[in-house]
Amino acid sequence: MAARIGRRTTLALPAAAMLAAPALGQSDQRPSVTVAVQKISNSNLLEMLREQSNVGTRIFFNYAEPLIGTDWTGDMSIRPGLATSWRRPSENVVEMTLRQGVRFHNGDEMTAEDVAFSFGPDRMFGGGSMAGHEPPRDAIAIARRSFPGFERMEIVDRHTVRFINKVPDVTLEGRLSRTTAIIGSQRGFAEAASWTDWARKPIGTGPYRVAEFRPDQVLVLEAHDDYWGGRPPIRRLRFLEVPEVSGRINMLLSGEADFACDIPPDQIATVESNARYEVVGGPILNTRVLTFDKSHPVLANPLVRRAITHSIDRQAIVDALFSGKTRVPPGLQFEFFGETFAEGWSVPKFDLAEARRLLREANYKGEPIPYRLLNNYYTNQTPTAQVMVEGWRAVGLNIQIEMRENWSQITSRETQRGIRDWSQGASFGDPVAQTPPNFGRQGSAWISNEWRNEEFGDLSELLETSTDRPARKAAWRRMLEIAEREDPAWTVLHQNTNFTAKRRDLGWKSSQTFVMDFRNDNWGV
């Protein structure tokens, strides 16, 4: 009996929703848009303190925003968001003027109180006053990592706040633009039954409000017509979880979806063979790298690691596997690092003769080196590895692919590690956003004893704490010299890509990150 009722209910609810949809449409001519995604949220939550993932990055900006915005579809520079302006009264303080008239999805006006709450113990750091609202311990850890020097958020007046850091930090504006810095409604949080309940349906200021979230199935957002940036162009924005690539493409081609995300490069021609559809996107601010484990007896010798870096034909990989739709970046850095960017830097040259010379000098005798690999976690991961293995074999390197099922098996120390794949992304325009957190003394490579270099560790700390801009720039260049040349920690392969298939008649621009921007200035463009 239970099954019969359940089944009826299951089928009846969507049917009722479908009947209701035309009625809504009569008063609102804006379109409903469906986006087929591989995954909506890894954690089944929408709070970015818990959802530290590319897939979370894709959706968050539609329902919640940080104080300082980002030009997602432009040059990725920071720009006014919920804060219209900011200044630095001192090296460790950012004073921000809040935009007036900003409404949360529950109708409340955003004030300095909400900002203080968003950076407070209840949402971020734990030990708050709201009973039953303690953040999960891992969310607290992420908050502390995101704002390592945070002291307090000071309310100056209803529309002015001061972010006060314990130590000087030139990257505070960048940190205030990242996903974890979203501003939520204090009342909305208090009315949720718990932190986790809040995280399932956060109340932010974004152009769309969370109407329904069924984890692993669908996220339905509805237009927040009081949005400070203008009336959203889409009435109902639906992110539908379709795990299989073929399923997403079929949904697009059959008209059930308007966008299909995470399209592999080899499917672009298939999609575009139909004139009604196109694939947009390209390189994003995320770099595919190989990382080395120095505790491996052979890889302990930097000459062997250097030989590996010289026997990778990166451009051939970009041309053959990505149809030239990405690029080999100038080392593990992006131009949007601005003044810290190391000009003239490049990845190790593809030079088989040099690789052979280095191996001779290292007295390498063909000892096996394991290369742990996931099956296409990254786009074209397995074929990329196969191409590289051939290059390594050509110079006498005996690197053996070991397929693994998950990240835990990739990083496991139960058997000898060697080489593994990874990617590095920057959430704001400074190397601090990507490298020290992963390779510095607090990074997982260091902590798991994969790679350590004391000089690099010192420079990482300088990069994070110094306000001397020339010194920071010099430190970053030296860090690249160490980690990409002298004592390789990683070697860059190519910039990652993000391709989205869409209806050609929908004017919409992709960004250089996973963020999908559906505000009115990116619709009909």
Partner 1 sequence: MLRFLGFRLLRAIVTIVLVVTFAFVVLRLSGDPALLIMSVDAPPEAIAAFRAAWGLDDPLWVQYIRYFNAIFHGDLGRSMRDGRDAIVLVTERIPATLALTLPALAIKIGIGVPAGVYAALHRNSLADRMVMVMAVAGFTIPSFVLGLILVLVFAVQLGWLPSGGQESWRHAILPVITLGVGGAAVLARFTRSAMLEVLGQPFIRSASAKGVPWAAVVRNHALPNAAIPTVTIIGFMVGSLIAGAVVVESVFSWPGVGRLLVVAVANRDLAVVQCILLLVAMTMVIANLIVDLLYGALDPRLRATRTAGAH
Q: Which spans of this chain sit near partner 1 (rule: CB under 8 A)?
A: 3, 6-7, 9-11, 14-15, 17-18, 42-45, 52-53, 136-142, 144-145, 196, 199-200, 214-217, 240-244, 246-247, 250-251, 253-256, 405-411, 422, 425, 437-438, 442-444, 447-448
Minimum distance from CB of 457 to partner 1 (Å)?
15
Nearer of residues 75 and 216 to partner 1, judged by Cβ? 216
Least CB distance to partner 1 at residue 431 (A): 16
In the chain the first and final C-alpha atoms are separated, in Å, by 53
How far apart are alpha carbons 149 and 75 in whole angstroms? 28
CB of 131 to partner 1, least distance (A): 17
465 CB-contact burial (10 Å; exposed 0-12 / middle 13-18 / buried 19+): middle
Supply the minimum distance, in Å, between the C-beta of residue 61 and partner 1.
Answer: 19
Q: Which residue has the tokens 């010099």?
A: 474
Minimum Å gap between C-beta 358 and partner 1 is 29
Residue 346 or 412: the one with the smaller Cβ distance to partner 1 is 412
Q: How far is the CB of 328 from partner 1 (least distance, A)?
A: 22
Q: Which is nearer to partner 1, 110 or 373 (CB)?
A: 373
What are the C-alpha distances in Å from 91 to residues 77, 94, 95, 223, 348? 21, 8, 11, 39, 37
Residue number, 119 or 277, with CB nearest to partner 1: 277
Q: Return d(Cα 467, Cα 281) in angstroms, integer.
A: 35
Quick one: 303 exposed, middle or buried, by C-beta within 10 A (0-12, 13-18, 19+)? middle
Shortest spacing between CB 379 and partner 1, in angstroms:
16
Measured from the CB atom, the residue of 45 and 489 that comes closer to partner 1 is 45
DSSP string, 26-88: HH--SPEEEEEES-S-SSS---TTT--SHHHHHHHTTT--BSEEE-TTTT--EEESSEEEEEE
Least distance to partner 1 from the beta carbon of 254, Å?
4
Question: Based on CB atoms, which residue is closest to partner 1, 244 or 468?
Answer: 244
The 3 state secondary structure assigned to 76-143 is CCEEECCEEEEEEEECCEEEEEECCCCECCCCCECCHHHHHHHCCHHHHHCCCCCCCCCCCHHHHHHH
Is 88 or 452 the residue whose CB approaches partner 1 more closely? 452
CB of 506 to partner 1, least distance (A): 19
In angstroms, the CA 369 to CA 335 distance is 34
* Residue 401 C-beta: closest distance to partner 1, Å: 19
For partner 1, the closer of residues 44 and 466 by Cβ is: 44
| Residue 156 or 447 having the CB closest to partner 1 | 447
Surface-to-core class of residue 133, CB atoms within 10 Å of its CB (0-12 exposed, 13-18 middle, 19+ buried): buried
Which residue number, 116 or 253, has a Cβ lying nearer to partner 1?
Answer: 253
Cβ pair 374, 404 in contact under 8 A: yes
Q: How many CB atoms lie within 10 A of CB 232?
A: 23
* C-alpha to C-alpha distance for 312 and 289, rounded to whole angstroms: 12
Greatest Cα-to-Cα distance within the chain, rounded to the nearest angstrom: 77
